[in-house]
Structure 1
Amino acid sequence: MTVRGLPFLIWSLTVLSLILTLLGVCVGSSGFENLLQPLLHPELDPSASAMAEQIVYEIRLPRTLGAWAAGALLGLAGAVAQGLFRNPLADPYLLGSASGASLGVALTLAVLGGSAGMLGGNMMNGGVVVSVFSGNVLVRLGLTGAAFVGAVLAVFLTLALSKGVQHTLRLLLAGVVVGVVLGAATQLVLLFSPDSLQAMQAFMLGSTAMVGWTAWALMVGVWVVCVLAAGLLGRVLDGLSLGEATAHSLGLPLGSLRVALVAVLALATGTAVAQTGLIAFVGLAAPHLVRSVIKTTHSRLMLLASLMGGALLMAADTLARWLIAPQELPVGVLTAVLGGGYLLWLMHRNSRAFAGGAS
């Protein structure tokens, strides 16, 4: 597909997301149930219509749209990371943001103690009714804030260790070191706070079960800001893809532009992680899926990867609710299995193509 097919791909991903939204509001703890009919025809059964309206608008619709927003943020962040590091295996968590968020949540859980344990049980049950969670709103806000602050501080620590963003390799290595050290610190905190293990496990596996309208609005707002910023910064990624010498020859101020790209990466990743926990492979796989169907510039790639990430996570979240209903799979486990399988297939296909070319 050429750049001429760009509008078609955008419309295809948009229509797919709309279809998945309709499907998502019809999948709950009891599996698939068509709630659209009582909503569209309330005169047939007013009580059923009122119940369907409450379930859809207060629980399933914000959760489904929240899954799209989190996936869109991760897809955008993955495209930024892969362009910034010029590495197709780069993911949004490469600067240590995941480990920083995990440490922030672990410390908060250790301080909160018993009330946090109740939250963990709710999250592990997946599709619980939001009213069960209403008594833990302050706990949820504390965990969300801790995850975001931890993710951002981890990125700042990475920047400090790498002494700026001038050297991509040093930045990459600093991110790996920060991730390992903060991951070890998280395990140490959990070792001394075993009551937090269940809630921490829910965060590590990822869940959209507690996403409401406020969280959705926050993620969409951040997504709009990041998409606009990424569109303006796409030219520097195009230049970096040709090599730093070429980028310098184009007159690009790489230092300040790299800082801006890292800020977009940290903001998008931190916001998504704070609301849904650690969801694997969406940010890594979304840009690859886009590249497999279209060749385009980074400005368009980041938008397309964002739309692809939203559709991927929305589909995975709906599937996680439906597969073993009334139980629910953690969506992070499902994305890891599906994303890992896709990348293995991609590696196998590329290795066969390389072997065929060599022969």
Structure 2
Amino acid sequence: MTAPTPENDPADHAVPNDPAGAAAANDPADAGPAAGPAAPSPVEPAARPRNIRARANLVPHLRVPWTDPRALAAPAQNMVWQGEDPEHAWIAEATAKIGDWRSFTRSVYLRWALTINASVLAEGHYRGPAAGQALVVNTLRVRGGVPRQTEIARWPGPEAADVYAEITPLSAAYGVADLYGALEDVIFELYEIVLTHHPDLLMHGPAFRDLRAMRDRRGDSAEAEEQWRAAWTERLAKWRHDKAFLGLHRNLLTLFEHARLQRPSQYQHTDVADWARTLEMIGELRHHVTHGMATVSEKLARLSNMPTSLTFDFVAGATLEVSLHHLQSVELFCEQLLTAINLSLMERAMGPLRNIVAPPEPAPPRAQ
């Protein structure tokens, strides 16, 4: 296994795009998500502690106005909607996050790439310059009633090199699991943007009569506003908890349905159902890793032998072996899925984008 090399692109470049402003509201696809028009004043969720996965941003996002000369020097990866139509406020918020999500998923990959790189270098170190040294590992043990640093393993240089060679592939496996978690964070954050601007989607039926009443009274006083915000935050948290058990692939499908998003008009080979199937495959591999499965399940093998299965090549009953290319495939899928979502959001606001070069589709069919 060799250490992965990060892309040369140091940052993402988002280009604000407002060619027509409110004129885009004449598009027939502009009636808002399935539940109807957007709420006149979306809920602003209380600030939450930063996701532990997002605390090391290795490739910060750079936003450049389309009028800035720098925008011509470095091709933009993201488009940000800045129209004035309040019906599209949720699209403006979502597209403004695409670059950050791209930085986030790429940073998660890079952390594991650096881990693999360090492991490969350590193996070489103990086979060469440090062959005469020992690798010592400590942990805590209670001695005299007090936790103390205690040696639990010691390997001579060549044995230490063998240890690193053995554990390096495991980093790729756990990297896949972590990157799937990052995808989960991104998809749910996008879904929450849709719901926050259209809270009626989560307030149907008699069970939420009181919540609807709080929403209607929120302008009466500061206390009423605070009561509504707290109740909505609780409702959103319960929704996310319940949705997490349905599978991320199903959540992607319902997200596109609720937001009335479609695959970008430039795409010809894949659709949302294909992307969801790829997500299901990655989720199944994560399940294998998280639960310490030794062999490949029938489900993972079936999902791995489809035209849109990335480089996944698992065979039912075979020993589970996760390689660097699997981790890199998932990172590539993150990149391409975010591009698809970005284009879909822009076309939701302004109709088909006919003057751009079609980007690579998420999990395109394999070459025969």
> One fold, TM greater than 0.5?
no
Say which structure, 1 or 2, has more relative contact order (CA 8 Å, 6+ apart).
Answer: 1
Q: TM-score, normalised by structure 1?
A: 0.29
Task: Kindly indicate which of the two structures has a greater share of residues assigned to strand.
Answer: 2
Which structure has the bigger radius of gyration? 2
Q: TM-score, normalised by structure 2?
A: 0.29
